[in-house]
Structure 1
Amino acid sequence: MATTPPDTPNSFRRLDRSQRRAFFAAWLGYLLDGFDFILITLVLTEIAADFELSLTQASTLVSAAFVSRWLGGLVLGAIGDHLGRKPAMILAILAFSLGSGLCGFAWDYWSLFVFRAIVGIGMAGEYGASATYVMESWPTSMRNRATGFLLSAYPIGTVLAALAYEVVVPAAGWRWLFYAGIVPIALTIYLRRSLPEAAEWRERVGGRHDETTTSSVLFAPRRSVVNIALAAVLSGALVLIFSRTGGDATPYLVALSVLCLTAFAVQLAGRSWPVMLAITFTVFCAFLYSWPIQSLLPTYLKTELGYDAGAVSTALTWAGLGYAAGSCLAGVVGDKLGTRRAYVLGLFASLAFVFPVFALPAGNVVLLWVLLFAMQATSQGISGLLPKFIGDHFPTRLRAASLGFSYNVGALGGAVAPLAGAAIAEEFGSLGSALTTLSVSLTVVVALIIGLDLPARLGRALRVPADAPALSTPERKASSGS
C-alpha cells in the first residue's frame, strides 16, 4: 500500500521503487500524448489534398482539439478527484489514443474534426491526471522536479513524431501515422496492473465520501441536467468559433463561451472562483507568449530566412530538445529557489534570447540552433513549473479538475496565438517582428503576475477559505518552495 511521501528534502536516487515507476509511467504517457497531439500539424498538406480543403480550412483541424480541452480537463479531472489519479490517467491515455487512431479512418473534414476533438479530451485529461499523480506520489520537497521532469516528455514526443513522419508518410501515407497513435493503449494495461495510487490522494481523499469534491459538485442531482445543457451549448459555440463557421455571430459566440466557462468555474471553485479565473488568465497569457513561436516559427524560418525543409526540421529539433532540457532544469531550480522565483527568473532570462533569434540573418545555421535551444529552454522549459504553480492554489480534493480546467481553458490562448501573430505581422510587415513583440510583451505580463503572486493575493484579499498551499502559506515560509 502506498505511504505518504516524506516532507524532507530528497533526491531521485532516494525515491522508492513505486515512486520511480509512477514517474516513468506518467512520463511515457505524456510523451505519447505529445506524439499523438502534434501529428496533425505534420500532415496538413496531405490532408488538404485528400479532402480537397484549402490550407486555411485544414489548419482549423489543429484548433479542433482546443474545442474539447476544457471538457477533458473538467470531466477527467473530476474523475481523478473522485476515483483517483491513476484511473483518470488511464482514461486520458485511452481517449487520445482512440482519437488518434480514428483520425486514420476519417472520411471528410467533419469526421476528422470530431476525432481530433477526442484527442483534445484525452490530452487535457492527461496533463491534469499525470501532473497530479506524479506530484502526489513524490515528496513535497521534490514536486517542482516532478512536474519539470514530467513535462520534458512532451517535446520529446513531438520530436519522435517528426521522425516518424519522415519514415512513415512517404512509404505508407498519412493515415498510417495516425494508426500508430493507437500504440499507447498498451501502456494502459501496464498502468492498471502495476502502479499504486498517488499517496497524497489516497490518504486525504480516497475512500471518503463525506467531503465535497468536483464530481459531487458538477454531477449533483439538481445540477447535472443544467450542466449537461451548459456543456452542449459551450461545445457548440466553440465548434462554430474554431471551425470558422460562425460568421457574423462569432463575437456573440465568444461572449457566450466566456459566460459558460465562468459558470463552470464558479461551480468548481466555489468562493475561490476569482482565484481560478486569475490562474486561467495567467495560463492564457502564457500561451500567447509561447504558442506564436511554437506554431509560426517554421513559417518564419521558411519565408523570411529562406531555409529548406531539412534545415527547418533540424532547427525545430534543437528547439524541442531545449524545451525538454529546460523543463528538467526548471524543476531543479524550482525546488531550490521556490516555484515563483524560478519561474520569473526563467521568463526574464528568455528575453535575452528572443531578440537575437529574430534578428539573426539567414546563413548562421549553427548559431540559430544554439539560440533556439537556449530560448526554448528558458521560455518554454520554465513552463515545467506550471502544474506545480497551478496545483498549489487548490486543495487535494479539488486539485485534478481545478488544475485541468484552468490550464485547458487558458490553453485557448494557443488557438488565439497564431491569429494574433499573423495580424501583428500584417501590421508590422514582418513575422519576426510580430513574434518578438508578442513574446516579449506577454512574457513580461506573465512574469509580473507570477512574481507579484497576484492570484494568491486575490484569494487572501477576498478571505477565501482554503487549505491550498498558495493561499494558506506564503511561499517564503514554505520549505518546499511553492
Structure 2
Amino acid sequence: MSDVTSESRSPVHEPPELPERRMAWWRELPARGKRAVVGAFLGFGLDSYDFWVLPLSLTAIAATFGLSGGQTGLLATTTLVASAIGGVAAGVLADRIGRVRTLMITVIAYALFTALCGLAPNYETLLVFRALQGVGFGGEWATGAILVAEYATARHRGRAVAVIQSSWAVGWGAAVLMYTLVFNLFDQDVAWRVLFLTGALPALAVIWIRRRVVDAPVYTERRTQAARGSLRAIFRTDLLRTTVFAALLATGCQGGYYTIATWLPAFLKTERGLSVVGTGGYLFFLITGAFAGYLTGGYFTDRLGRKNTFRLFAVLSGALLLLYTQLPASTGSAVMYLGFPLGFCASAIFSGFGSFLAELYPSRARGAGQGFTYNFGRALGAFFPAAIGFLSGQLGIGGAMAFGAFAYALAFVALFWLPETRNAELA
C-alpha cells in the first residue's frame, strides 16, 4: 500500500468553513502554483473541447460515411482505448522528464490530430486520426492534475484539483456553442469537418504554458529518485492492491460517464426528435450542472473525505442516468431539467480523482500510478459506448444507455479496498 498516515484514514471533524476561507486554497498557493493552476485549467479545458467535437458530430459523421451503430460507437471506443495508452505513457514520462514538459507534449498531440480528423477522406482514416488524438487526450489530465496536486496544501488539495476538473465543463460548453454555430452555418457533411478543424486552436496554449509554468518543488527536489520511476513500480507488492482497485474505481466512473458523453446527443436527436438548437438547450442544463458539480465535488472531497464523496455520487449518478433515459418522451420538460442534477452528479464524482490518486502514490511513482489507473479505467470504460452502440439496435439508444448504471456500481464496490487519504501529505 502507499504511504498514507493513520490520521488521514480517520474522520476529521472540522468547524464550518467561513465564507472568507472558501478561497483559501487559492490564496495559499505560491505564485508559481497559481500559474500552474491556470496552465492546467487551460490544458484540460481545451482537451475537453477536442474530445466533445466527436460526440456532437456522431450523427453527421454516420450519415457522411454510412456507418452502423456499432461502427459509430467504435469511434468513441477507439479514442478512449488509445487515450489509455497515451495516459500511461505520459504518466511515466512525467516522472522522467517533468510534469510541465509532458503537459506541453500532450496538448500539441491532441490539437494536431483533432484538426486532422476534419480532413479524413474516409471512415478508416478518421478512426486512425481519432486514435492518435486519444493518445494526447489521455495524457493531459493526469499530468495537469499531478502538477496542481503537488503545489496544493493537503487541506485544500481536493478543491484545488477540482477547479482543474471543472475546466472540462468549460471546454464542453465551448464545444456545444461552436457546434450550434457551425451546424447552423454549414450543411452537416461539411459542418462536422469544420468543427474538428477548430480543434487546432488549443495548441496556442502551449506558448503560455512554456513561458509561465514550472514543476513543483515536491517533484524537483526528488527528481533524481523520481526519474528512476517506471510503470513496474506500481505493480510491486507495496502498491499492487492500490493499483488494481484504483483502476477499477476509474473504470466504473468513466464507464458511466462516457456512456452519457458519447450517446446523449444522439439520444436527444433520435429518440427525443430534437433539432441542433433543441439539443443545445438540453445540453445547457447538463453542462451547467457539470460545472457546478466539479466545483462542489471538490468541497465534498475535502469535507466528507475522498471515499464518501465517490460513494455518494456513484449512487446518485446511476439512479439519475436511469431516470433520464427511461422517462417517457411526454415528460420532455421534466427530462430537460433533470439534466442539471445528472450533469452535477456525473461530474462531481470526478472532482476527487486528481487528489485521491496523487495521495495514493509516492513521488517516485505518482505519474505512473495516476496515469495508469485513470487511463486503464478509460480503456475498459471505453467499451461501454461500443456495447451500447451494438445494443441500441435491439433496445434503442435510451434502453441501451441504462447499461451504464452498472458501471457506477463497480466504482462503489472498488472503494472497499482503498484507503481514505483526506489530509494526507504527499509522500
TM-score (norm 2): 0.83
- Helix, strand or coil at the partner of 1:196: coil
Residue 4 of structure 2 corresponds to none
Instruction: Give the Cα–Cα distance (whole angstroms) in 2 for the partners of residues 352 and 480 of structure 1.
Output: 35
- Answer yes or no: is 1:11 the counterpart of 2:25: yes
Over residues 201-235 of structure 1, what are the superposed CA-to-partner deviations in whole Å (9 max), with x where a residue is unaligned? 123x22x1587312xxxxxxxxxxxxxxxxxxxxx
One-letter code aligned to 1:130: G
Higher relative contact order (CA 8 A, sep 6+): 2
Residue 14 of structure 2 corresponds to none
| Paired residues of 2:166 and 2:295 also in contact (CA < 8 A) | yes
| Paired residues of 1:350 and 1:375 also in contact (CA < 8 A) | yes
Instruction: Give the Cα–Cα distance (whole angstroms) in 2 for the partners of residues 210 and 143 of structure 1.
Output: 21
Identity of aligned residues (%): 27
Matches within 5 A, 1:107-146: 107-146=121-160
Residue 345 of structure 2 corresponds to 378
Over residues 272-324 of structure 1, what are the superposed CA-to-partner deviations in whole Å (9 max), with x where a residue is unaligned? 33431222122212223333233233344344444444333211221122112
Larger radius of gyration: 1
One-letter code aligned to 1:188: V
- Answer yes or no: is 1:270 the counterpart of 2:236: yes
- Helix, strand or coil at the partner of 1:392: helix
- Helix, strand or coil at the partner of 1:379: helix
Q: Which stretch shows the higher mean deviation, 139-148 or 86-95?
A: 139-148
| Paired residues of 1:338 and 1:481 also in contact (CA < 8 A) | no
Residue 220 of structure 2 corresponds to 202
Instruction: Give the Cα–Cα distance (whole angstroms) in 1 for the partners of residues 46 and 56 of structure 2.
Output: 16
| Paired residues of 1:141 and 1:481 also in contact (CA < 8 A) | no
Closer, same or farther: CA 86–481 of 1 in aligned 2, 3 Å:
closer
Residue 228 of structure 2 corresponds to 212
| Structure 2 residue runs without a partner (length 5+) | 1-7, 9-20
| Paired residues of 1:339 and 1:481 also in contact (CA < 8 A) | no
| Paired residues of 1:85 and 1:130 also in contact (CA < 8 A) | yes
Residue 198 of structure 2 corresponds to 180
- Answer yes or no: is 1:333 the counterpart of 2:300: yes
Over residues 136-175 of structure 1, what are the superposed CA-to-partner deviations in whole Å (9 max), with x where a residue is unaligned? 1221211111221111111221221122122235346433
Over residues 346-389 of structure 1, what are the superposed CA-to-partner deviations in whole Å (9 max), with x where a residue is unaligned? 33344564454345433444432332111221233221212222
Tell me which of 344, 357, 368 is aligned to 2:335. 368
Cα displacement (A) at 1:437: 5.6
One-letter code aligned to 2:229: T
Matches within 5 A, 1:236-251: none
| Structure 1 residue runs without a partner (length 5+) | 1-6, 215-264, 457-473
Tell me which of 315, 321, 324 is aligned to 1:348. 315
- Answer yes or no: is 1:390 the counterpart of 2:406: no
One-letter code aligned to 2:197: Y
Closer, same or farther: CA 277–28 of 1 in aligned 2, 3 Å:
same
Closer, same or farther: CA 285–396 of 1 in aligned 2, 3 Å:
same
Cα displacement (A) at 1:32: 0.5
Closer, same or farther: CA 270–130 of 1 in aligned 2, 3 Å:
same
- Helix, strand or coil at the partner of 1:152: helix
Closer, same or farther: CA 47–370 of 1 in aligned 2, 3 Å:
closer
Residue 20 of structure 1 corresponds to 34
- Answer yes or no: is 1:320 the counterpart of 2:287: yes
One-letter code aligned to 2:359: D
How many equivalent residue pairs?
401
Instruction: Give the Cα–Cα distance (whole angstroms) in 2 for the partners of residues 146 and 346 of structure 1.
Output: 19
Tell me which of 97, 103, 119 is aligned to 1:105. 119
Closer, same or farther: CA 60–28 of 1 in aligned 2, 3 Å:
same
- Answer yes or no: is 1:413 the counterpart of 2:380: yes
Closer, same or farther: CA 61–168 of 1 in aligned 2, 3 Å:
same
Q: Which stretch shows the higher mean deviation, 20-29 or 105-114?
A: 105-114
Closer, same or farther: CA 68–359 of 1 in aligned 2, 3 Å:
closer
Residue 84 of structure 2 corresponds to 70
Cα displacement (A) at 1:95: 0.8
- Helix, strand or coil at the partner of 1:141: coil
Cα displacement (A) at 1:128: 0.8
